[in-house]
């Protein structure tokens, strides 16, 4: 029986892994595929948006000065000489005492500096003249060139995770192909002679792979492109081939511990580097990290709860970092009091699955790391640090919510 | 100039729209595509998981009773008769005083009821015998049939939004095709003679469509499948054709108000129903809702901030509800004090874009509804109810975070 060389604390392991995490290079994607992607560069606008002064109301474009003397008892009459529509502007200049009927969004004609709304004038004479009954101030109901974006503005900084409205602004400044950080390519290597692929029915002495579908969904959530051809046997040659796949990250599930069937650590020792092996945490202790060439390799336990926990602490963080995303958990958190105490062995970090019932946090009845349904009954998890023996009832704790 | 027949409050409009919202029918998708989808039915397991008792440690499967008298000075010797591996079980029964070498995950042979870990026995004689130095309790290091899921259990309820670990459990109970609520099909109808399609460069008198890319990303986030062939002119025949598209939801952007170029409301009146038109909110007042046949039609203002606001209040909620999702905003919220007061006209709900700076909430300098970049500089928004004139400085307000 071999053992772990030495157990790392979670903090030490994270510090070591972090030195291997650098955002990947950029790639261009169409704007329509850019939501949620991470900008590889700052974005500077080369255009004013809008590129012209425009009407913000349906009405009449005119010179504000013409209405200086207008009053209810002394209306000013303007000669309406043309129409201006969005995309079909009036191309000439408008002289004093003249006006152009204009629709919202149409460019303001040369010579004009204001728009008087249609409901404030008398156009009852058939439309060739209007009467204004009050002064109009210069700039009224005019949207000015560059009021949204001025040419030369640094609109977004690199590493921004793009939101829906960001795509609107990018579109408006003429960006059709967006330079974003490439998605990490993740190869899942799920091993176990007892595993049937997803879609199979369970049968005698075999179980259907749970970790593969779970890890694929987790890694996609964290911005990866997944390659997962299904579970493979606990067999060194096949595992080695899979660990040499064309990928940025290899996630091995199963065979990560120190038993005679645990091939993954020795494969890393022989064909790459085994940098971390064994973590002072519960569940998830038989977790490893290493490299094969440029590939980051995560050895996750086969027990599905341990696998989820180790993914949450190490692999997910790394995938997010390679993709230029914040390393922090993507889970929402709340702070709420414990209904009952949580105990945890000093010297090991614990990942306690909890429910939140009527605003109070309850640890699920302690069940083994093989009981994945405990994580589907749970609303989230509470982390008990290694130096703590747990939390007393009524302690306010942070719950990281799965949903 | 036509006017709005009557303005609805936001609450009235939501109550009316809610009566039109019913989750769509189900469809089957492969497990690998089910993350984040919404279950159309309860899921009941037809299998125990695991389907057999199994070893949870590498060691020796045996009968606990055999070790009752074992002590350090009085070891019990067991005859090791075979090996058992995951997926390659020992098929016969194990008699008293016999043991089977077993690996983690292998089925427990008949006759055995415990596993003694390899590090607690003396197997130094070549492996044909082991010596146990202490009693082993029945069930030790055995994972019991059904400990994760018992056949007949209602594992998930309908309307659950599936999480990564849920896919693991679904896989383990033999579910390869998952019955989920169909994604709403959303047709975007973005109108404006001045609009160039995304990917164009801005040019004289034209602007590049911002609302289309923004709305597509918003609706995808809310679980829709988008059909958006690009902006179309302000022209009745083309708009009508688009409003008759094969879709569950039609989102019209632009031409939603009461001007002579605003065709969408009259098209709804003539070819369907215009149920709500005009909302007491700022921005977003010229918003409408109606139906054409079974299609829900949302008329959103062309000004991009108004468009975003109206989407957030009405269209997004409806898309989520059709897809079986919670109607609530998908935004995280925080509560924090206002750095400065926010004022708002009584009688209209306001959607104030804010930044959170050093834990305090600051409204962005008030800019027009056409300035989409205000929503990209903002961290989120604060809602001022219609009956409120605003909030004083230092008031704790809820901020809905965009990011």
Is there a contact between B171 and A210 if contact means CB atoms under 8 Å apart?
A: yes
Which tokens sit at A212? 């593969």
Q: Quick one: pLDDT band at residue A3, thresholds 50, 70, 90?
A: low
Nearest by CB to A149, from B1, B147, B373: name it: B373
Nearest Cα residue in chain A from B165 = A214
Run of H or E residues at A53: none
Measured CA to CA, the distance from residue A221 to residue A58 in angstroms comes to 46
How many Cβ pairs closer than 8 A exist between chain A and B? 275
CA distance A198 to chain B (A): 5
- Minimal Cβ distance to B103: which of A148, A167, A259: A259
What's the pLDDT tens digit per position in A9-64? Answer: 999 999 999 999 999 999 999 999 999 999 999 999 999 999 999 999 999 999 99
Contacts of A317 (CB under 8 A, 6+ apart): A14, A17, A327
Whether residue B373 and residue A403 make contact (CB cut-off 8 A), yes or no, is no
Give the domains, in start order, of chain B with CATH numbers: 10-24+183-322 (3.40.980.10), 26-49+147-181 (3.90.105.10), 54-143 (2.170.190.11), 332-401 (2.40.340.10)
Using H for helix, E for strand and C for coil, what is the string for B52-70?
CCEECCCEEEECHHHHCCC
B206 vs A87, A215, A368: nearest CB? A87
Chain B within 8 Å of A329 (Cβ-Cβ)? no
Chain A residues touching B48 at Cβ < 8 A: 202
Residue with tokens 């969904």: A217
- The predicted structure's pLDDT at residue B261: 77
Helices B164-172 + A211-221 axis angle, to 10: 160
Given a contact cutoff of 8 angstroms between Cβ atoms, the answer to whether A39 and A156 are in contact is yes
Of A168, A205, A216, the CB nearest to B87: A205
Predicted ipTM of the assembly: 0.96
Percentage of the residues of chain A whose pLDDT score is greater than 90: 91
> What is the distance between the alpha carbons of residues A379 and B372, in angstroms, rounded to a whole number?
37
Q: Which among A198, A220, A371 has the least Cβ separation from residue B35?
A: A220
Contact B207, A87 (CB under 8 A): no
Give buried/exposed letters for B188-200 (b at 16+ CB in 10 A, else e).
Answer: bbbbbbbbbbbbb
Can you name the residues that pair with B98 across neighbouring β-strands?
B79
Please tell me the distance from the alpha carbon of residue B18 to that of residue B77, in angstroms, as a whole number: 73
Which residue of chain A comes nearest to B37, CA vs CA?
A217
Between CA B400 and CA B343 the distance in angstroms is 18
Burial B66-80 (b: 16+ CB within 10 A, else e): bbeebeeeebbebeb
Residue B142 belongs to what H/E stretch?
Answer: strand B142-143
Q: How far is B271 from chain A (nearest CA, A)?
A: 25
Three-state secondary-structure class, residue A282: strand
Mutation test of the interface with chain B: which of A139, A152, A178, A194, choosing the one with the most B Cβ atoms within 10 A?
Answer: A194
- Determine the Cα–Cα distance for residues B387 and B390; give it in Å rounded to an integer: 9
Contacts of B172 in chain A (CB under 8 A): 202, 207-210, 372
Radius of gyration of chain A (CA): 32
pTM of the model: 0.96
pLDDT, residue B95, reads 96
Q: Do residues B96 and B63 lie in contact, with contact meaning Cβ atoms separated by under 8 Å?
A: yes
Q: Which residue in B328, B381, B289, B363 sits closest to B4, CA to CA?
A: B289
Residue A278 pLDDT class (50, 70, 90 cuts): very high
Mean pLDDT by 10 residues, chain B (403 residues): 75 98 98 98 98 95 96 95 94 96 95 94 86 94 96 98 98 98 98 96 94 98 98 94 97 87 92 97 96 98 96 98 97 97 96 97 88 96 97 98 92
- Residue B1: per-residue pLDDT: 37
Contact A202 B143 (CB under 8 A): no
The partner residue sitting opposite B200, judged by closest CB among A168, A174, A368, is A174
User: What percent of chain A clears pLDDT 70, i.e. is strictly above it?
Assistant: 99
pLDDT at B2: 53
Put simply, whether A152 touches B (Cβ < 8 Å) is no
Structure tokens at B289: 């809702």
Give the largest CA-CA distance in chain B: 104
Contact B208 A173 (CB under 8 A): yes
Q: Say whether B202 and A173 touch across the interface (CB within 8 A).
A: yes
**Closest Cβ opposite residue A167 in set B119, B163, B217:** B217
B151 contacts chain A (CB < 8 A)? no
Between chains, do B51 and A207 touch, taking CB under 8 Å as contact?
yes
Q: What is the 8-class DSSP label of residue A39?
A: B
- Token pair, residue B402, equals 């965009």
Query: Cβ of A221 under 8 Å from any chain B Cβ?
Result: yes
Find the CB nearest A174 among B165, B167, B208: B208
In this structure, are strands A59-62 and A114-117 parallel, antiparallel, or unpaired? antiparallel
Q: Does B293 touch chain A (CB under 8 A)?
A: no
Name chain A contacts of B213, Cβ cutoff 8 Å.
31-32, 164, 167-168, 170-171
Half-sphere exposure of A102 (CA within 13 A, CB side): 31
Q: Are B213 and A170 in contact (CB < 8 Å)?
A: yes
Chain segment A205-257, per-residue pLDDT in tens = 999 999 999 999 999 999 999 999 999 999 999 999 999 999 999 999 998 88
B37 CB neighbours in chain A (<8 A) are: none
Q: Which residues of B touch A161 (CB under 8 A)?
A: 403
Whether the CB of A215 is below 8 Å from some CB of chain B: the reply is yes
What does the pLDDT read at residue B147? Answer: 95
The 8 Å CB, 24+ separation contacts for A295-298 are A295/A243, A295/A245, A295/A247, A295/A248, A295/A249, A295/A250, A296/A20, A296/A21, A296/A248, A296/A249, A296/A250, A296/A322, A297/A243, A297/A249, A297/A250, A297/A251, A297/A252, A297/A268, A297/A272, A298/A249, A298/A250, A298/A251, A298/A252
How far apart, in whole angstroms, are the C-alpha atoms of residue B352 and residue B383?
6
Q: Write phi, then psi, for B126 (nearest 5 degrees).
A: 105, -5
Q: How far apart are the first and last CA of chain A?
A: 40
**B171 at A interface, C-beta within 8 A:** yes
Map residue B32 onto helix, strand or coil.
helix
Q: Does B210 touch chain A (CB under 8 A)?
A: yes
Which chain A residues touch B104 with a CB distance below 8 Å?
Answer: 257, 259, 261, 302
Residue A1 pLDDT grade (very low, low, confident, very high; cuts 50, 70, 90): very low
Question: Using CA atoms, how far apart are residues A144 and A196, in angstroms rounded to an integer?
Answer: 64
Q: Distance of CA A83 to CAs A108, A128, A130, Å?
A: 11, 11, 13
A73 contact partners, CB below 8 Å, separation of at least 6:
none
DSSP string, B358-397: TTEEEEPPP--TT-THHHHH-SEEEEEPTT--EE-TT-EE
Six-digit token pair at B100?
């089977």
In angstroms, the CA B15 to CA A12 distance is 54
């Amino acid at each position: 029986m071999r053992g772990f060389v030495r157990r790392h604390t979670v903090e030490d392991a994270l510090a070591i892994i972090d030195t291997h995490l650098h955002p990947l290079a950029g790639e261009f994607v169409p704007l329509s595929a850019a939501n949620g992607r991470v900008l590889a560069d700052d974005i500077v606008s080369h255009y004013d948006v809008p590129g012209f002064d425009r009407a913000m109301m349906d009405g009449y474009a005119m010179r504000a000065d013409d209405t200086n003397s207008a009053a209810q008892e002394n209306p000013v009459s303007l000669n309406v000489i043309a129409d201006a529509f969005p995309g079909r502007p009036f191309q000439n200049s408008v002289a004093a005492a003249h006006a152009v009927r204009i629709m919202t969004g149409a460019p303001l004609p040369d010579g004009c500096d204001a728009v008087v709304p249609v409901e404030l004038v008398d156009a009852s004479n058939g439309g060739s003249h209007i009467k204004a009954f009050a002064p109009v101030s210069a700039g009224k109901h005019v949207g000015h060139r560059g009021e949204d974006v001025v040419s030369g503005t640094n609109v977004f900084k690199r590493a921004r995770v793009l939101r829906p409205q960001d795509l609107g602004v990018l579109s408006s400044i003429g960006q059709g192909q967006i330079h974003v950080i490439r998605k990490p390519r993740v190869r899942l290597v799920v091993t176990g002679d007892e595993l049937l692929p997803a879609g199979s029915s369970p049968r005698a002495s075999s179980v259907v792979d749970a970790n593969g579908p779970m890890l694929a969904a987790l890694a996609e959530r964290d911005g990866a492109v997944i390659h997962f051809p299904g579970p493979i046997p606990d067999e060194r040659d096949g595992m080695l081939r899979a660990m040499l796949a064309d990928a940025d990250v290899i996630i091995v599930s199963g065979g990560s511990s120190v038993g005679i069937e645990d091939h993954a650590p020795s494969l890393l020792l022989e064909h790459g580097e085994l940098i971390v092996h064994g973590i002072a945490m519960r569940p998830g202790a038989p977790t490893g990290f290493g490299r094969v060439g440029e590939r980051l390799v995560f050895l996750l336990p086969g027990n599905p709860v341990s696998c989820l926990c180790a993914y949450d602490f190490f692999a997910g963080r790394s995938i997010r970092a390679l993709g230029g995303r914040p390393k922090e958990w993507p889970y929402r958190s709340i702070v709420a009091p414990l209904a009952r105490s949580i105990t945890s062995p000093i010297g090991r970090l614990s990942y306690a699955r909890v429910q939140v019932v009527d605003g109070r946090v309850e640890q699920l009845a302690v069940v083994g790391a093989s009981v994945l349904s405990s994580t589907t009954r749970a609303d989230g998890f509470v982390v008990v640090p290694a130096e703590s023996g747990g939390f007393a009832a009524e302690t306010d704790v942070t719950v990281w919510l799965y949903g």
